[in-house]
Amino acid sequence: TQLLEQSPQFLSIQEGENLTVYCNSSSVFSSLQWYRQEPGEGPVLLVTVVTGGEVKKLKRLTFQFGDARKDSSLHITAAQPGDTGLYLCAGYRNTDKLIFGTGTRLQVFP
């Protein structure tokens, strides 16, 4: 059983549409991160959220950490083909061990 479950697993949308990816757990995390990974490359850190209820914006991307620090969401406004990739949430549970989610593969068509 994965500690961090992401949904949806796959998402295929047209350019200009909005989307939300969810990352859920029954456990509390001290911090949550979101990464994007493209084929042939390692994950690239997009954002870190550390406070329950925290919202961070990165251009068209909005990240939220749940009040109870058990879940997070990533919202993309007006998706572009360049947003295509594997989106991974990951969290720390008071240790040095980074736990990754199951991943959401996003495809944005022009």
Q: Which is nearer to another protein, 94 or 110 (CB)?
A: 94
Site for another protein in 53-92 (CB under 8 A): 88, 90, 92
Query: Which contacts of 39-43 are long-range, i.e. CB under 8 A and separated by 24 or more positions?
Result: 43/86, 43/88
How many of the chain's residues bind another protein (CB under 8 A)? 26
Of the pair 22, 92, the CB lying nearest another protein is at 92
Contacts of 84 (CB under 8 A, 6+ apart): 38, 106, 107, 108
User: Considering Cα of 73, then 23, then 32, then 104, what sign does the dihedral take?
Assistant: negative
Examine residue 102 and tell whether it contacts another protein (CB under 8 A).
yes
Residue of 28, 68, 78, 98 that binds another protein (CB under 8 A)? 98
